[in-house]
């Protein structure tokens, strides 16, 4: 009994193969294959046409709006060496692949800086640079496993520490002087190799070196102030601000973020000089002029435009190579299941219609507009944190928690991979602008004090002699909050990212993104 089913099964299989080999069977198989090929060809043709048409239509809308989508058009134009700040031998050495990061300076500053307390990072208010800790670090009195305990020296002890720190920094004077001399040139174009097929492969070694230069100048300027030499300190601040401006024409998002960070580094010695009333009228006016020109809200658009163009270029490149699967291969690990399916996903992506890559570009731009267009890239001088956060949450909800297969079907691979890195740009633009505005107003307040032997009761008293107009808080759209404290101090503040006037109450750090006001304090 048990042998009969298997025998019947074998017999059926044999009859099927005999039929398949017959003329009638071969004819039917051929018809089925032709239909299958026709259906697949129609599917690919329709998807390619539909994707290309939808993207071209949306692209025309963006171009009509005046948007720049061509990555090559955003590359800074070269300038003659004799007019270029970045054409000096020292700056060119930053791009030498054979040299290590710290070797270009010939010192151990970077190693020591990780052991010394930072005057701003994760602090509620600015503190003086700890010259005593730096004195100890340069003397080699450090524990490899621990940071130096804050010393916070005052008076003669701080002045003595400052002189020893300046003595240690003499080794880089020639390099800084080379940069000072070059800073007289009108333009700055670092020797970045832009003409790479893959925009994500462009090397930017100068960004870390600009950051490193500003940190050394910050220490030197603060030490000069403590040593009673504000005229030398202002030279260091001037070079710091030039380093910040040297990145202004670069389209990279990371260059913009470095500019914001370096501005805060440069503001530190400005604040220390104001705390000790060491600046002259002329010095204050020079510094104030620079801060008043800062417009981080406007400049963020250039960086965002470049990031969008780079994303579109990347999808174009992968489409031409026929290897759109690279979008999955560069994705960060998101879980065991995702990793297990990645090999299959790569194979599926290589077989996808090319029109789907146009849909990827379209989806990326739609999410990009949804997240940034009305609050971060318009012509308004304000940022609206609540709206930015709402838009970010809406985009995140649509992109998060989906598998690569789900993102493929919804054409969201490029958006899910490349948009999250842009989500905090509003906060960064706000901190940069508030930092510049508060420093500029503080210079005007000190100029008022030099003339009137005291600070004003209201900011309006600065206009027009010390300020042509009062800067508006980028978040509230109203003048900055100001409160005079006794005869020798004041609180100046923005309402901060929570959009609430907390009466000068500070968050856990200087520019806290959740609570408190962003306070500049002089006492």
DSSP letters spanning 140-152: T---TTSPPPP--
Average pLDDT taken over every residue of the chain = 88
Measured in whole angstroms, the distance separating CA 176 from the mean position of its chain's CA atoms is 26
- Of the listed ranges 96-100, 124-128, 253-257, the least confidently predicted one is 96-100
- Does the pLDDT at position 159 exceed 70? yes
| Contact (Cβ atoms closer than 8 angstroms) between residue 508 and residue 124 | yes
3-state secondary structure of 514: coil
Q: Which tens digits make up the pLDDT trace of 4-42? A: 556 666 677 777 667 667 777 677 777 777 777 887 788
DSSP letters spanning 190-246: -------SSGGG---HHHHHHHHHHHHHHHHHHHHHHTT-HHHHHHHHHHHHHHHHH
Please list the residues that pair with 490 across neighbouring strands: 484, 522
pLDDT at 255: 96
pLDDT at 20: 63
Percent residues over pLDDT 70 in the chain: 90
* Token pair belonging to 333: 């690990």
pLDDT at 3: 53
- Does the pLDDT at position 183 exceed 70? yes
* Site of tokens 């709006």: 65
pTM recorded for the entire structure:
0.88
Alpha-carbon distance of 245 to 262, in angstroms, equals 10
Q: Which tens digits make up the pLDDT trace of 283-303? A: 999 999 999 999 998 899 899
Greatest C-alpha distance within the chain: 115
| Contact (Cβ atoms closer than 8 angstroms) between residue 159 and residue 279 | no
Q: Which tens digits make up the pLDDT trace of 363-385? A: 999 999 998 877 776 667 889 99
Q: What is the mean pLDDT of residues 57-83?
A: 93
Alpha-carbon distance of 93 to 317, in angstroms, equals 32
């Amino acid at each position: 009994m048990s042998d009969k089913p298997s025998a019947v099964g074998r017999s059926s299989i044999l009859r099927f193969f005999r039929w398949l080999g017959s003329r009638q069977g071969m004819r039917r198989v051929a018809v089925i294959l032709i239909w299958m090929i026709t259906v697949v060809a129609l599917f690919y043709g329709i998807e390619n046409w539909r994707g290309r048409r939808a993207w071209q239509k949306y692209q025309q809308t963006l171009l009509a709006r005046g948007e720049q989508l061509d990555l090559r058009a955003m590359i800074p134009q070269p300038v003659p060496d004799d007019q270029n700040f970045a054409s000096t031998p020292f700056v060119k050495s930053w791009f030498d692949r054979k040299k290590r990061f710290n070797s270009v300076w010939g010192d151990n500053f970077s190693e020591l800086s990780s052991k010394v307390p930072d005057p701003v990072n994760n602090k509620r208010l600015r503190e003086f640079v700890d010259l005593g800790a730096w004195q100890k670090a340069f003397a080699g009195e450090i524990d490899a496993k621990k940071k130096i305990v804050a010393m916070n020296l005052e008076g003669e002890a701080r002045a003595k520490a400052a002189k020893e720190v300046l003595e240690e920094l003499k080794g880089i004077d020639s390099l800084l002087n080379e940069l000072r001399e070059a800073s007289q040139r009108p333009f700055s174009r670092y020797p970045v190799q832009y003409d790479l097929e893959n925009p994500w492969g462009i090397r930017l070694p100068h960004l870390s070196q600009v950051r490193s230069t500003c940190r050394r100048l910050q220490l030197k300027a603060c030490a000069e102030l403590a040593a009673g030499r504000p005229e030398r300190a202002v030279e260091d601040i001037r070079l710091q601000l030039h380093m910040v401006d040297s990145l202004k024409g670069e389209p990279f998002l990371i260059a913009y973020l470095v500019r914001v960070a370096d501005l805060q580094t440069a503001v530190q010695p400005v604040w220390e000089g104001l705390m000790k009333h060491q600046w002259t009228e002329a010095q204050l006016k020079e510094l104030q002029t620079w801060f008043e020109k800062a417009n981080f809200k406007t400049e963020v658009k250039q960086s965002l435009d470049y990031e969008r163009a780079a994303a579109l270029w990347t999808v174009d490149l992968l489409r031409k190579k026929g290897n759109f699967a690279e979008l999955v291969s560069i994705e960060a690990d998101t879980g065991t299941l995702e990793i297990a399916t990645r090999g299959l996903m790569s194979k599926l992506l290589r077989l996808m219609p090319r029109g789907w890559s146009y849909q990827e570009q379209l989806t990326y731009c739609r999410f990009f507009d949804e997240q940034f267009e009305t609050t971060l890239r318009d012509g308004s001088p304000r940022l609206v944190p609540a709206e930015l956060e709402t838009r970010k949450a809406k985009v995140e909800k649509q992109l998060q928690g989906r598998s690569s297969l789900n993102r493929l079907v919804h054409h969201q691979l490029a958006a899910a991979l490349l948009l999250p890195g842009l989500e905090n740009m509003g906060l960064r633009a706000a901190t940069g602008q508030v930092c510049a505005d508060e420093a500029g107003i503080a210079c005007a307040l000190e100029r008022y004090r030099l003339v009137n032997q005291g600070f004003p009761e209201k900011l309006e008293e600065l206009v027009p002699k010390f300020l042509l107009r009062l800067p508006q808080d980028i978040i509230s759209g109203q003048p900055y909050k100001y409160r005079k404290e006794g005869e020798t101090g004041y609180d100046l503040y923005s309402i901060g990212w929570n959009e609430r006037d907390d009466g000068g109450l500070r968050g856990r750090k200087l520019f806290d993104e959740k609570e408190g006001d962003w306070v500049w304090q002089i006492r």
